[in-house]
Amino acid sequence: MAREYGQAGPAAHPGFEKRGSLWLRTSLTLQSCLTTFRRVVGMPDYSAYLEHLSQRHPDWPVPSEQEFFQVYVETRYGGGVSRCC
């Protein structure tokens, strides 16, 4: 099922189970830090969205990263209060 966003799951990173090289572990940590950061500032994760599409709506068109970003900005600031005093 839909995995929790903000974590790098094994599916996205083949070889994760091996926990082999230091390089791999560092890059995974870095990647999950990046995703966490993006989610804190309120930006959805592009690769997670692609995964969501492939699981739920395999027949839908896949947006480019730029299109994805565009739609996100519109929904985020298209109305409603996102920031407080």
Partner 1 sequence: MLGWVMIAVAGAAGWAMLALSRGETISAAWLVLAAVSTYLIGYRFYSRFLATRVFALDPRRATPAERLNNGRDYMPTGRWVLFGHHFAAIAGAGPLVGPVLAAQFGYLPGTIWIIVGVVLAGAVQDFVILFASMRRDGKSLGQMAKEEIGPFTGILAMIAVLLIMLILLAPLALIVVNALRSSPWGAFTLACTIPIAVLMGFWMKVWRPGRTMEASVGGVLLLMAALVGGRYVAENPTLAPLFTFSGTTLAYALIVYGFFASVLPCWMLLLPRDYLSTFMKIGAILLLALGILIVLPPLRMPALTRFTDGTGPVFAGGVFPFAFITIACGAISGFHALVASGTTPKLLKTEADARLIGYGGMLMESFVAVMAMCAASVLDPGVYFAINTPLATLGGDAAHAAETIRQWGFTVTPEQMAALARSVGEESLLSRVGGAPSLAVGMAQIFSGAFGPSLIALWYHFAIMFEALFILTTLDAGTRVGRFMLQELLGHVWEPLGRTSWYPSIILTSALIVTGWGYFLVQGVLDPLGGINSLWPLFGIANQLLAGVALSVGTTIIIKSGKARYAWVTILPLAWVLLVTLTAGWLKITSPDPRLGFLAHAQDTAAKVASGAIDPTRGARLIFNDRLDATLAGLFMTAVVLVVLSSVREWALVLRGRKPAVTRETVFTETAYGA
Q: Considering just the CA atoms, what is the radius of gyration of the chain in Å? A: 15
Q: Which is nearer to partner 1, 14 or 80 (CB)?
A: 80
Which tokens go with 80?
């409603």
Cβ–Cβ < 8 Å for 12, 51? yes
Residue from 21, 27, 36, 62 touching partner 1 (CB under 8 A): that is 36
Q: How far is the CB of 20 from partner 1 (least distance, A)?
A: 25
Size of the site for partner 1 (CB under 8 A): 42
Q: 41-80 mask for partner 1 (x: CB under 8 A)?
A: xxxx-x-xx--xx--x-------xxx-xxxxxx-xxxxxx
Burial of 35 (0-12, 13-18, 19+ CB in 10 A): buried
